[in-house]
Amino acid sequence: MFKNFAQRAFKQAAIRGYASSAAETAASQELKKTALFDLHLQNGAQMVPYAGYSMPVKYASLGVLQSHLHTREKASIFDVSHMLQTRLTGKDRHDFIEKLCVGDIKNLPLGSGTLSVFTNEKGGIIDDTIISQHKDSLYIVSNAGCADKDLAHIRKHLQEFQQKGGDAELSIIDDHSLIAIQGPKAAEALQKLTDKDLRTLNFMTGQFLSIKGIECHVARSGYTGEDGFELSIPTPEITAITELLLQDPDVELAGLGARDSLRLEAGLCLYGNDLNEDITPVEAGLTWTIGKRRREEGGFLGAEHILPQIKGGVSQRRVGLVVQGAPARDHSEILNAEGEKIGEVTSGVPSPSLKKNIAMAYVKNGYHKAGTELSVKVRNRIQKAQVVKMPFVPANYFKA
C-alpha cells in the first residue's frame, strides 16, 4: 500500500517541485545543457529546468521510487555537471579561503576534502561546498543554483585580498564535466575501469587517477549516504566513460527525483530549502564543520555572530521528523501541543527505504530533542509528527 502511495506522491512532487522552477527559468533565460544531454534523451529521460540547466528528473527504465531503491541496493549514475567546479591557487590560498568559509582548510591532509559553508557578515550561509586539498591548489565544488552568487562573492573578496598583497587566484574548471556513481556496487563498477586499488581511497579523499587511460579527478564522496565517487572528467570523454560504467548490469542512470529523496534519507541539506543566508551553521546543525582552530581564532565572515552561538545556544534548530498521514512538504507549519506555530518544514518526502513520511525542519529551541511529539499542518489538516535523529537511514560511507 505504501508503495502505491509513494509512487503517486513522488509523481506529484516532481510536478510541484519543478513546475515553478520551469516557469521562472524559461522566463529568464535559455536553459543550458550538460555534455550528457543527448545521452539523457537516448535513455528516455524526462528533462526539467533546474538551476538554469535542462536536467533529468527520471528515466524511462526506472521511476523515481525504483531508481531510489536501485541506488540503495546496487549503483546509479547522476549527472552533476551543473555543479560549479573551481580551483584556487597561490601561496596565500589557504588564508584567503579561510576568510570566506568556516573550515580548517590549512590543516586538511593532502588528498582530503571537507564539507564547509561560505558565510556572510551576519553569519548566514551563502552556500555549502566541498573543498579538497591538492598539492598546489584547492579544488572547490559548490552548488549550480548559487554559482553566480558564489563567484561574485568570492571575486569581490579576492580583489580586496589581492589589493592588500595576498597571492591567490581563482579559475573556473570549465573543461571538465562531473558525474557521481553512488551505491554499494559503485566501487565494483568503477574498479573495472582503473588499475588503482579503490580500497585505498577512503570517504572524503580524492586524487587524480586514470580511468580507461583518461586522467580524471576521483573523490570518494556523494550526496546519497551510500558509498560512491564523484568523477571530474575531461568533457570530451564524459559520455564514453559514463557509457562504460553503464555496461555494468548493476548500474543505472538516476535523476533529480531520486537524488532528492536519497539525500533527505541521509539527512543532507539542500541549499535554498534547508540552508539559506539567514540560517547560521550552528542553527543548521553544522557546527561540526567549524574546525577547532577556527573556533579559537575566528577570522571568517560572521564569526562574531556564529561563535557565541556554539556556547550560548540558538533560537531554532534543524531536526528530522517522521510524519503520519500525507507527506509534509516545504513550508508546512509545525505546531506544539498548544497549537502554537514553532517551526516550518524545509524538505519532505515519502521515504522508500523506511516506508514512512520523513521531513527536515527548523523548530524553536527546546522542541528539538529526539522523541518530541509535535504536529504538522498539511493541506489544512493537522497530522502527528515526531522528532527523530538524522540520518534517517544509516550512512554506508567507505573507510578502509
Three-class SS state of 93: helix
* Residue % of the chain over a pLDDT of 70: 93
What is the number of structural domains in the chain?
A: 2
Question: Over the chain, what is the mean pLDDT?
Answer: 94
d(CA 180, CA 81): 9
Task: Find the helix packing angle between 2-28 and 256-265, rounded to 10°.
Answer: 120
pLDDT at 206: 97
* pLDDT tens-place string over residues 297-339: 999 999 999 999 999 999 999 999 999 999 999 999 999 999 9
CB-CB contact of 277 with 124 (8 Å): yes
Last residue of a domain, one of 275, 307, 339: 307
Same domain assignment for residues 288 and 338: no
Determine if residue 230 is labeled as part of a ligand binding site: yes
Strand 125-133 relative to strand 113-119, pairing: antiparallel
Domain shared by 255 and 147, yes or no: yes
> Which range of residues forms the domain containing residue 7?
1-307
Is the per-residue pLDDT at 5 higher than 50?
no
pLDDT of residue 27: 41
Question: Is 297 found in the same domain as 331?
Answer: no
- pTM equals 0.94
Task: Tell me: do 125 and 171 sit in the same domain.
Answer: yes
CATH of residue 320's domain is 2.40.30.110
Helix axis angle, 64-73 to 2-28, nearest 10°? 110
